[in-house]
Structure 1
Amino acid sequence: MKNAIEVNNLRKEFKAYSSRSGLAGAFRDLFTRNYKIARAVNDISFNVKQGEMVGYIGENGAGKSTTIKMLTGILTPSGGQIKVNGMNPHKEREKFVQTIGVVFGQRSQLWWDIAVQESFRLLKKVYKVTDEQYDDHMNHVIKTLDIEPLLDKPVRKLSLGQRMRCELAAALIHNPPLLFLDEPTIGLDVLVKLKIREFLKEVNEKYNTTILLTTHDLSDIEALCERVIMLDEGNIIYDGALKNLKDTLGDGKELQFQFLEKVDLPAVKKLTAALPVKWEHDEKEQIFTANMQNNDELISQLIAKIVAAFKIKDIKINETSTEEIIRNIYEKGAVEVG
């Protein structure tokens, strides 16, 4: 399978000026400026195969948006090599932009004061899309994203959720093989997020569209991406399957039991002494919590022993959330996943 994105030792540096303090310092700044080099992206390398949906995640200032801007040709790298859809985004600009779609959650590609459908018509001409291609592809996109009632409205009259659905449709007018999404669901309600996620899955399956997604909403990543690339201070600290991250770094599972009759903690501990489990007891709520490793066989044995011995009112099984795992990684730094 071919690579849609190839990144080797990619680096981006910015020159940041610093002012001296006081009047004398300000006067000296008129003639000589102090500056330092700030590195936003630090010699990173990764590949994305055609048809993959990859989550590109990190805290604010980690270098995510800077990377996306270099991959889309908006910024020129300070060093390293990029090949996207077999092209250099900066040297083959006109040809290159025909092969990508971009959605920046906090910036619009639609014209503010004209109707959505007029923006679509303009973009259709920009991308040299024929009437037949447009009708064949966009009728499906418009119907799936439920934006037909919005087409004759000016963009400024749309809600955020409505505008983001139109932005996504606009990015797909030329049916690009590669889609960059930078915070596409920022500020959206749950129903709109679900609609956009389902649509992205469908586009990926139907057209084998490659999608690189940056977002702070990890539920988007879990719903769409099997692979994640984690960035911290311009460095890649993890690149691999989301499942491996959860299996290796999840702190096991937590089982909560409530009983129909009074049960004491020593009796529960004695019953499960042969299993690797740690018990906690909330006397006020009468909740018994078992902490153990994420092993289906051991969990089944524990539940079987408890159910056979006591009358159960309720059982809950909780696992460490992806958000919690990733927060722990950022606190500890780079991670090794076996």
Structure 2
Amino acid sequence: MIQVHHLHKRFARKVAVEDVSFTIPRGEIVGYLGPNGAGKSTTIKVLTGLLVPDSGAVTVGGLVPWKQRRQHVARLGAVFGQRTTLWWDLPVQESLALLRHIYRVPAGRFAENLAHFTELLELGPFLGTPARSLSLGQRMRADLAAALLHDPELLFLDEPTVGLDVVAKERIREFVRAVNAERGVTVLLTTHDLGDVERLSRRVMMIDVGRLLFDGPLAQLQAQYGGERELWVEFEQTPARSDVAGLRVLASCGPRLRYGFRGPAAEPIARVTALAPVRDITVREPDIEATIRRIYEGGLLHTPS
């Protein structure tokens, strides 16, 4: 769906994107991560056709975004957390009807999509409400419907859950998962909310100072740069000893112990269960937010100069 080869973009004396290459197959959801000013927005603007790169080759669905922009944008959907595509003083339903004409969506298909999205996103209670009177969560749900009414092949999501409460975030994540599974929509997600990444993406790309520093499974990022995994154990009774080879005791309270370890869990579990009878045992993964923070603060992905 997306092919980017040796993308370069500079503004005045500042390099925004330097030699970035990646491909995204159709139907994949990819998290695109990086601190502010890393190059995420520049990449997205090139992919949408808003910016022309200085050099490199980019195609999206076989089209060059800035050369075939009219055809290109007709196949895109975009939701930007800080902006809206709705008309401020119009009821949501009228904004969606206007977008139907802009994208030339057949009446039958528009009605079908609107009904489906109204059900999935629970739009019914505020379809008649002007955009200016919507809560942030309602506006984001309406913007998602607006972005997908014309059946785009590719959806750009930029901070889609920013400022939302837990319930609203989960509703939006469920909707994105649904349209990806049901319609095969390719999704490129840029966010600072690592919950979005954990719930939606198996693959992440990380960019900083204009360079793509990691591209791979989220699990690999965790394995390479995350902290210890934890084994939470509740024994039948307090064991005579708590030390286990290859594990680090993190906390102990009677029969409940918490161990830290790295690598696969099978061997640590076998060693712990051999120590004494176990009532309950749970493996907890490293916190992804802490992992990303360690990477940024410690420069772990930067290669030595």
TM superposition score normalised by structure 1: 0.83
- Deviation of the 1:280 alpha carbon: 4.5
Contact 1:41/1:67, CA 8 A, preserved across alignment: yes
Q: Does 1:303 align with 2:272?
A: yes
In the alignment, which of 276, 279, 292 is matched to residue 246 of structure 2?
A: 276
Q: 2:112 aligns with which of 136, 140, 144?
A: 136
Q: Tell me if structure 2 keeps the 8 A contact 1:238–1:335.
A: no
Match of residue 142, structure 2, among 166, 173, 181: 166
CA–CA distance in 2 between the matches of 1:279 and 1:161? Answer: 43
- Seen in structure 2, the aligned counterparts of structure 1 residues 306 and 167 have a Cα distance that, compared at 3 Å, is same
Measured after TM superposition, the shift of residue 9 of structure 1 is 1.3
Q: Does 1:327 align with 2:293?
A: yes
Q: Residue in 2 aligned with 1:49?
A: 25
Structure 1 residue 95: Cα displacement: 1.3
Q: Does 1:245 align with 2:245?
A: no
C-alpha separation in 2, matches of 1:280 and 1:222? 25
TM-superposed CA distance for 1:145, in Å, is 0.6
3-state SS, counterpart of residue 260 of structure 2: strand
CA contact (8 A) 1:329 1:335 kept: no
Provide the residue aligned with 2:8 in structure 1.
11
SS at match of 2:172: helix
- On the 8 A contact 2:239/2:275 being kept in 1, the answer is no
**1:1-338 aligned within 5 A:** 4-15=1-12, 37-257=13-233, 267-269=241-243, 272=244, 275-280=245-250, 288-308=257-277, 317-330=283-296, 331-334=298-301
Query: Percent identity, aligned pairs only?
Result: 42
Cα shift at 1:233: 1.1
Instruction: Give the AA of the match of 1:328.
Output: R
Query: Residues 262, 85 of structure 1: CA spacing in aligned structure 2 closer, same or farther, 3 A cutoff?
Result: closer
Distance 2:256 2:274 in 1: 17
SS at match of 1:180: strand
Deviation at 1:305, TM superposition (A): 2.7
> SS at 2:192's partner residue?
coil
TM-score, normalization: structure 2? 0.91
Give the deviation of 1:144 after TM superposition: 0.7
Amino acid at match of 2:242: V
Structure 2, unaligned runs of 5 or more: none
- Look at both structures and tell me which one has the larger radius of gyration over its CA atoms: 1
Q: How many residues get paired?
A: 302
Letter of the 1:321 counterpart = D
Provide the secondary structure at the position in 1 that maps to 2:231: strand
Query: How far did 1:121 drift?
Result: 1.1
Residues 234-261 of structure 1 deviation map (CA, whole Å, 9 limit, x = unaligned): 1101001112222333333223456786
The runs of 5 or more residues in structure 1 that have no matched partner are 16-36
Local SS of the residue matching 1:41: strand
CA 1:239–1:281 in 2, change beyond 3 Å: closer, same or farther? closer
In structure 2, what is the Cα distance between the partners aligned to 1:57 and 1:281?
A: 33
Distance 1:111 1:263, change over 3 A: same
Structure 2 residue matching 1:46: 3-state secondary structure: strand
Q: 1:256 to 1:206 in 2, by over 3 A?
A: closer
Distance 1:281 1:177 in 2: 49
Residue 148 of structure 1 deviates from its aligned partner by 1.5
3-state SS of 2:219 partner = helix
Q: Secondary structure at the match of 2:42?
A: helix
Alpha-carbon separation, structure 1, partners of 2:233 and 2:162: 37
Q: Distance in 2 between matches of 1:268 and 1:211?
A: 47
- Indicate if the aligned counterparts of 1:73 and 1:89 stay in contact, CA closer than 8 A: yes
SS at match of 2:276: helix
Q: Is the 8 A contact 2:247 2:268 kept in 1?
A: no
Aligned to 2:105, what secondary structure does the other structure show? coil
**Counterpart-to-counterpart distance in 1, 2:32 and 2:224:** 20
Q: Cα RMSD between the aligned structures?
A: 2.3
* Local SS of the residue matching 2:96: helix
**3-state SS in 2 of match to 1:268:** coil
